[in-house]
A and B are shown apart, each in its own frame.
Chain A
C-alpha cells in the first residue's frame, strides 16, 4: 500500500541570472510519493514547483540530488537506454495541450508517435490502440483524425492525457494541467484523472496553484515557497490545520463561498512569514 513510487532526495537547482550571479530555484528538496497516490505541489509563481516537475521527468538536470522511480535511481547523466526507460515510466501533461499537439496533423499522430517510440506494435495495431486510448479518456473515436483546431480545450487536454497514457507510464506529472480550462471542464478532467489513477494504477505528481483543485484530487500536499518546501501533510491536514504562516496566507487568499479579500490579514501573515 505504501510502496514509494517516487523518491526525491535533496534536489538542488540553480539558474544563472547574470555574470557571477545565480538564483536558487530548488533548495535541497526531498519528497516521497507513494505508489498509486496523488501528491499535489502547491505554490505561487517562482516557488520552484515547475522546476521540480521538469527535473523529475528529465527535462532539466539537477545540480545535485537524486530521483528514484519505483525503487530505481534515475542517474543524473543517464545513458540512452535509461533515458528511454525514464521517458516511458514518467510522462508529463502540460498546462497548454497545444504544446504537445502539431496543429497541422490529426491529433491521433501525437498518440501514435509515443506508441511508435515505446512499443513494437504494427501500424494496424497502433491504430487500434489509439482508438482504445481515445475511448479510455472519454473521446469519441471519430476525433482520431480531427485537427487540433477542431477540438475544444478540454478535448485537446484529453488527447494530451491519452498521449501520456500511450507510453504505459507508472507516473504522470501534471503541470497545471487544468489551469487553463473553464471550471465545468476542469471538473470533468479531474474526474477523468481520478478514474484513470485507479483503473491504470497510476501515481500522480500534480503541480497547481489552485487549492480547490488540490482538494478535489490530491491525497498528500507539499507547499513550496522560494524553492523550498515549507509544509507537507495529508490534504485534510494541510487544508484544515495549516501550520506554516505561508500556507495560512495561501488559504486566506483563496476565494470560496463567504470569502472576502482582507488586506489587514494578508499584511499580518506576510509579516509572520518574514520573521
Chain B
C-alpha cells in the first residue's frame, strides 16, 4: 500500500539526513522503524506527509496505493492528511489547544454547512473515546488538556487520529514521554484500534522490544539508512547487521523476569 523508494533527504549543502531509504507497508501491516537519535526515522515519517523542514531537498518517491504523495498539493494534500494518513507524535500537549476543552478537538472536523457541530458530532466523539478505553467519557470531553494526565491525553489524540478511519497511521514515539505502565496501556489500545480498523501502521521508536510487541516487521535505521529489515524474531534470534547486534546487546543479556501472560518464556 505504502511504497517508499530510494528516498533521500538533504538539508542545506551537505547535511544528508536520509540515504536511499526503501520500505513498503502492506494494507493492515504494522512496520516498526527502530533507531537511535539522528538515525532519520522521524524524518522518514515526516516526508510522507510533506512536513519535512523547509529547505529540505527530497529525492526518490513515496506512493500510497500508487498515488505519488510527494506530488500532492493544496486540496489534494489536505484530503490525504485528513482521510488517508494520520499521525500521532510524542507530545500530546503540542497537539491539543490548551484553552479549549478536548471535545472541541475531537469534533473539529464534524461541522455542517452552517459551521455548527453536527448533531451526531458529540455522540461520535464519545464513541471515539470509548474506543480508546476511556470510561468517564463525559468528564473527559469537558476537561481541558491541563486537567488530564499524559496517558489520558495521548488516548484523546489517538481517538482524534482514528476518527477519519485512516488507512495508515504514522506513530512517532507516541509513548516515549509516558510512564512505563501508561505506555503499556496506550500501546495495547493503539494495537487494538489498529486491528479493529484494519489500519496499517508505521511505528517509530528507539525501543526494539516495544516495536517487536506490536509490529509485523521491523526496519533498523542508522545514519539515515535502513541497515536491516525483518521479522521481529529474526532480528532478535539471528541479527545480520553488526549494528542490529549492538542494539540487541545493549539491553541486559539474561532476561531474568517472566510473568504469567508472556508469550515466550
Q: A182-B36, A183-B250, A187-B249 are in contact. Are A259 and B209 (CB under 8 A)?
A: yes
Determine how close the nearest CB of chain A comes to the CB of B181; give it in whole angstroms.
Answer: 5
A250→B181 contact, CB < 8 A: yes
Q: A186-B250, A255-B213 are in contact. Are A266 and B188 (CB under 8 A)?
A: yes
CA of A251 to CA of B261, assembled, Å: 12
B36→A184 contact, CB < 8 A: yes
Q: Which of A210, A212, A261 has the most CB of B within 10 A?
A: A261
B112 at the interface (CB under 8 A from A): no
Q: For chain B, residues 26 to 54, give those with C-beta under 8 angstroms from any C-beta of chain A.
A: 36-37
A interface, how many residues as a size bin? 35 or more
B256→A239 contact, CB < 8 A: yes
B137 at the interface (CB under 8 A from A): no
Determine how close the nearest CB of chain B comes to the CB of A52; give it in whole angstroms.
Answer: 17
Determine how close the nearest CB of chain A comes to the CB of B38; give it in whole angstroms.
Answer: 9
For residue B257, which residues in chain A have a CB less than 8 angstroms away from its CB?
Answer: 211, 239-240, 251, 254, 256
A119 at the interface (CB under 8 A from B): no
For residue A186, which residues in chain B have a CB less than 8 angstroms away from its CB?
Answer: 250
B206→A240 contact, CB < 8 A: no
Q: How many residues of B contact A (CB 8 A)?
A: 38
CA of A183 to CA of B263, assembled, Å: 24
For residue B192, which residues in chain A have a CB less than 8 angstroms away from its CB?
Answer: 263
A215 at the interface (CB under 8 A from B): yes
Partner of A257, one of B179, B180, B249, B255: B255
Q: A44-B179, A263-B185 are in contact. Are A183 and B252 (CB under 8 A)?
A: no
For residue B37, which residues in chain A have a CB less than 8 angstroms away from its CB?
Answer: 153, 182
CA of A212 to CA of B257, assembled, Å: 10
B209→A257 contact, CB < 8 A: yes
A45 at the interface (CB under 8 A from B): yes
Output the nearest chain B residue to A262 by Cβ-Cβ distance. B261
Q: A184-B36, A255-B209 are in contact. Are A260 and B181 (CB under 8 A)?
A: no
What are 12 contact pairs spanning A and B, CB under 8 A?
A44-B180, A185-B36, A249-B181, A251-B257, A254-B257, A256-B251, A257-B209, A257-B212, A257-B255, A258-B264, A260-B213, A261-B184
